[in-house]
Amino acid sequence: MKSTAQPPVLFLLTARLLTARLLSARLLTVMVITVLSSLLFATSTMAANSKSSDKSTLSYAPSESPLQDVIDAQEKAKNNDTLLLVVLGAKWCHDSTGLASHFESEALQPILEKYYTTLLVDVGLLEDRRNITRRFDYPIYYATPTVMIVEPNTGTLLNRASMARWAHADSIPLIDYVEYFTAHGELSEQEIAVLQSYTPTPEEMSYNAQYAARLQAAYKALSPLLKDDINGDLEGDTADNFYAMWREVRQFRATLQKELMERTQAQLDKGDVSLETKKATLTEHGPFSWQ
């Protein structure tokens, strides 16, 4: 036979009190976990935003005074005892954005932080930036991106003989970035002195300025069409004409830069007997097909 006796009232009250305390403890634990999770999320978000802010210089942001930005960066490089690294590029340019992405890689960031003060300059829709390039004795930007490694105290452009390679920056392997920027960051005083000895002839300087002006005029003609192309407003014959003009200008600027690099290397290697008879190439180029 089963007992029909009821549990004492005191026992029931004690059991209910313990149950309430357990529920309160569990509720308190859940609340603490929730608060901690919220704090961790907020901290992570703030850190991510801070990290993004730290990288804000590695973007092609429009500026009202790009030349002054370069001047300020050069002064900062002097104070930091680093080289100055100036990149002229644009957000619409695949190779420019590819280079910026490589710059933010874990493999390259420590190298840039150690050796360089870095500034990315927006060229907009092929705007004139000759006041920047000529500051370092370079005629114009022949490509986007244009990568300039500068000794800040003298303004010597240290990589003028190899700048054309960065026109295809997005397709260059990351290891090549690491090797290139490490090698230039570790140039000896003697190697820098050799690069400082570069002095184009008056004839070449006049030639460079003449064709830089022609190239900038071509950029000006392309600029409104480039804007329409970016906005998807080109079609039919207008689009075909733009692409034909773009290819023609691309060939022109690539040829100018290639010959400039050859002249530079020949001048820097003038002590090599095998190069003594090599003459500077000052090719005369005719007008564009649309002129």
Cis amide leading into 145 (omega within 30): yes
- pLDDT, tens digit, 9 for 90 and up, residues 192-218: 999 999 999 999 999 999 999 999 999
The pTM score is: 0.78
- What pLDDT, on a 0 to 100 scale, did the predictor assign at position 31? 42
- pLDDT, tens digit, 9 for 90 and up, residues 105-163: 999 999 999 999 999 999 999 999 999 999 999 999 999 999 999 999 999 999 999 99
Task: Return the amino acid letter for 280.
Answer: A
- What pLDDT, on a 0 to 100 scale, did the predictor assign at position 10? 38
229 is written with which tokens?
Answer: 């192309």
Q: Which residues are CB-neighbours of 172 under 8 A, at least 6 positions away?
A: 102, 165, 166
Cα dihedral angle (238, 140, 96, 253), rounded to 10 degrees?
50
- What pLDDT, on a 0 to 100 scale, did the predictor assign at position 28? 44
DSSP for residue 186: T
User: Is the pLDDT score of 274 beyond 80?
Assistant: no
- Grade residue 275 by pLDDT with cuts at 50, 70 and 90: very low
- What pLDDT, on a 0 to 100 scale, did the predictor assign at position 61? 94
- pLDDT, tens digit, 9 for 90 and up, residues 68-120: 999 999 999 999 999 999 999 999 999 999 999 999 999 999 999 999 999 99
Burial class of residue 11 (count of CB atoms within 10 Å of its CB; 0-12, 13-18, 19+): exposed
- pLDDT, tens digit, 9 for 90 and up, residues 224-270: 999 999 999 999 999 999 999 999 999 999 999 999 999 999 888 87
Let me know how many helices (H) and strands (E) the chain has, helices first: 9, 4
- What pLDDT, on a 0 to 100 scale, did the predictor assign at position 267? 87
Q: Is 275:269 a contact under the CB 8 Å cutoff?
A: yes
- What pLDDT, on a 0 to 100 scale, did the predictor assign at position 281? 74
Mean pLDDT across the chain: 83
- pLDDT, tens digit, 9 for 90 and up, residues 4-32: 334 443 333 344 444 444 444 444 443 43
- Grade residue 57 by pLDDT with cuts at 50, 70 and 90: low
Q: What are phi and psi of 118, to 5 degrees?
A: -110, 135
- Grade residue 280 by pLDDT with cuts at 50, 70 and 90: low
